[in-house]
Amino acid sequence: MGIIRVLSDQIANKIAAGEVVERPAAVVKELMENALDAGAREIRIEVAGGGAQRLRVTDDGCGMVRDDALLALERHATSKLRDVDALSAIATLGFRGEALPSIAAVSRFRLETATATAAAEGGAGTRIEVAAGKIAKVEEAGLPGGTSVTVADLFFNIPARKKFLKSEATELGHITTLVTHYALAYPEIRFHLETPQRALLSLAPVASHAERLRQIFGPELVTQCVEFSETVNWAPELGGAPERDAADAPGLGLFGFASRPELQKLNRNSIFIFANRRLVRDRLLQHAISAAYTNMLPNNTYPAVLLFLDLPFAEVDVNVHPSKTEVRFRRQTFVHDAVRDAIRGALGVARPVPGFLRERQTRPSAAPTWSAGSGGRPWSEPVAVPFSPGVEADLGISIADLPSGFNLTAAPVPPSERRLPLESLESLEQPPVHRAAGPPVAWVPETGAGCGLREGQALALPPAADELAQLRPLGQIHDSFIVAAGPTGLWLIDQHCAHERVLFEQLSAQRRAVERGGPRESQRLLMPLIVELEPGRWQGFAELAPELEAAGFEAEPFGRTSLAVKAAPAGIAAEQVERLLREILEIAVAEERGVTAERVRTRVTATIACHAAVKVNMRLEPEKMTWLLARLAQADYPMTCPHGRPVLLRYSLDEIQRAFKRIK
């Protein structure tokens, strides 16, 4: 007798449910995507017990008639695909026809739905109750237009799966983050998320993604990000059919928000990517985002990015994984390069400079940035979670939920010290002096009699991208940091990092010129320098010989374990040549296998720039400081050195006035 058998429907449904329903957040995701595909303008999510006890998703979409509602609970039943050709250009979030039967197979499930026409005409809707995949009740009911799905006792019939769920707070956090992300992708839709205790999110429709970002996180996070938006025409495909030529296809739209280099994360959990407004995970695009921040962030740190891609449906395959979170792009290299160039170009135009006080408190964090309540703050401050109307922020609950007889009273106002003015009566009776109004940001207000405080004029605006060209050097601190005055405040410049950035971009430009056949810039040594190498570095020399030659080195084997160096890159002192060569050869030893040639080239260039740059504890003449600031202003990315450290810190005039207690 054979040992192969066909699984029962019950077992097959539970296996399929394990692929689609990983946790309560996965249920919310599937139901929200169904609501969005149904044309909903308002989505309401109610969660109890972290979603495992009960959750309900209600929308005002098109709804279903009785026959469609029953058929929707059958496996592989969907209204979103008609034929095989539709699989190559999927335009909806859902399409597999597995979500509802998979959820119903592992929970106590109730579906309530009515079409808008039936609801308007007073017709009946349909209510279906399912337990562990078996239909228990089907009845007519008076319902509003749209669909409401209630899922209770998730995994009640699979105790082993239920044990793997995390705490209620953790599961609720996953749901909140998921709803937040879809709210960012669909700003024109109203989202409401609540628990029995309070409303977590209540978002009215807005006109743009930027407004929705401000709505959720506040304006402060927007100032910590660089907004980018670009449309790229598709490059012609080699051997492609004329009907698929780039001139006939819509362009690749890229827009979103990228964090300033001062905001650093220890993982990629703050990178979120939406392809045609579908939340996806894609290693290719994560690599493109990391490549956009090359030489702007320290090693092993990552940015926070919200990336939205708008591209023809035929250019992306979403039928890769049952959860529909993994995709495959038809022209991967083109999409990768377009994302990298768009983000890097936006950072180059904005040239974000960190503030002195904020950078001092910044630490790389593993906490997600784009989650409700985080505020995206890179420094450690208490974070205010947005509460629904009627909820006291200090308590986290509604006043109506407090026991009877519990009254809140305002804290007594502490006495304030007052200083009597010592001016004479005549001076007080003098008419006020009218001064000419100065620039709105750089103006320092007079504080009046008694040096009393005045309200701040306005939030300090970030410096203009061209302000670096207007800096005026004042001197040095410990012969290491340049102090400069600018139109919007005081600037501190790390002279070594600044010169390193200038030389890095100069050497990179020379390296590209060499690839085009231009001359190498190097300096010949008076006598060849003999360098003894260990076996590991000797192997590194064999791997990096072409890069060393392009960088300006001229070296050849001299014996079994030695090199004779006859020339070195221009600007390197003779006593530093051997140390520089050893550090470059160490790159080949330390780098992981499979690293790209571009990464090795960048590391080599950064190492040369570091050795050639002016050092700390080095006195600079005023002319040299002026020259360095002028060259830095011409750099493409003057914010950080090639190793990711900040080059500039700005102490804004607003911060200076507050420190001197001139404004509140």
Mean pLDDT, all residues of the chain: 80
Winning range, highest mean pLDDT, from 166-175, 401-410, 527-536: 166-175
SS3 104: helix
Q: What average pLDDT does range 121-133 have in this prediction?
A: 89
Q: Are 46 and 23 within 8 A, CB to CB?
A: no
Worst-scoring range by mean pLDDT, 26-30, 184-188, 389-393, 513-517? 389-393
Q: Alpha carbon of 602 to those of 180, 186, 512, 663: distances in Å?
A: 37, 39, 12, 46
pLDDT 10s digits, 233-285 = 988 765 555 444 444 567 899 999 999 888 888 888 889 899 999 888 888 99
> Which residues on adjacent β-strands are paired with residue 113?
126, 147
- pLDDT given at position 204: 95
| Complete DSSP assignment for 195-261 | -SS-EEEEE---SSHHHHHHHHH-HHHHHTEEEEEEEEPPPPPTT--GGG-TTTSPPEEEEEEEE-T
Give yes or no for residue 562 having a pLDDT over 90. Answer: no
Q: Are 280 and 273 within 8 A, CB to CB?
A: yes
Q: Are 24 and 46 within 8 A, CB to CB?
A: no
Question: Which long-range CB contacts under 8 A does 482-487 form with residues at least 24 apart?
Answer: 482/620, 482/625, 482/628, 482/629, 484/625, 484/629, 486/650, 487/439, 487/441, 487/442, 487/463
Q: How many Å apart are CA 272 and CA 281, to the nearest integer?
A: 8
Q: Are 608 and 642 within 8 A, CB to CB?
A: no
Q: What average pLDDT does range 403-417 have in this prediction?
A: 51
Amino acid identity of 102? S
Tokens of 622: 């005023």
Structural Rg of the chain based on CA atoms: 31
- pLDDT given at position 377: 40
Residue with tokens 């504080």: 447
Amino acid identity of 188? E
Q: How many Å apart are CA 440 and CA 511, to the nearest integer?
A: 44
Residue with tokens 């084997």: 557
Q: Residue count of the chain, please give it.
A: 664
Residues 6+ apart with CB under 8 A from 284: 329, 332, 335, 336
Q: Are 625 and 338 within 8 A, CB to CB?
A: no
Helix ranges restricted to H, 308-355: 332-350
CA-nearest of 406, 465, 461, 407 to 439 is 461
Worst-scoring range by mean pLDDT, 188-197, 383-392, 491-500, 558-567? 383-392
Q: How many Å apart are CA 587 and CA 590, to the nearest integer?
A: 5
Q: What average pLDDT does range 567-591 have in this prediction?
A: 82
- pLDDT given at position 382: 32
Maximum CA extent, the chain: 116
Q: How many Å apart are CA 291 and CA 502, to the nearest integer?
A: 20
- pLDDT given at position 2: 72
Q: Please, which pLDDT band fits residue 459 given cuts at 50, 70 and 90?
A: very low
Amino acid identity of 513? A
pTM over 0.75: no
Looking at the chain, the whole-number percentage of residues with pLDDT higher than 70 is 77
Give yes or no for residue 440 having a pLDDT over 90. Answer: no
> Which residues on adjacent β-strands are paired with residue 192?
44, 202
Helix axes 535-551, 577-590, angle to 10 degrees: 110
pLDDT 10s digits, 504-528 = 999 999 888 888 888 888 889 888 9
**Which is more confident, 60 or 270?**
60
pLDDT 10s digits, 48-59 = 999 999 999 999
Q: Is 361 left (phi over 0), alpha (psi -120 to 50) or beta?
A: alpha
Question: CA 626 from chain center: how many Å?
Answer: 36
Residues 6+ apart with CB under 8 A from 95: 78, 80, 81, 87, 318, 319, 324
No. of helices (H) and no. of strands (E), the chain: 19, 24
CA-nearest of 295, 228, 276, 225 to 507 is 295
Q: How many Å apart are CA 451 and CA 456, to the nearest integer?
A: 14
Residues 6+ apart with CB under 8 A from 97: 74, 75, 76, 77, 78, 81
Q: Are 460 and 445 within 8 A, CB to CB?
A: no
- pLDDT given at position 428: 38
SS3 29: helix
- pLDDT given at position 49: 94
Q: Are 312 and 250 within 8 A, CB to CB?
A: yes
**Which is more confident, 412 or 490?**
490
- pLDDT given at position 348: 87
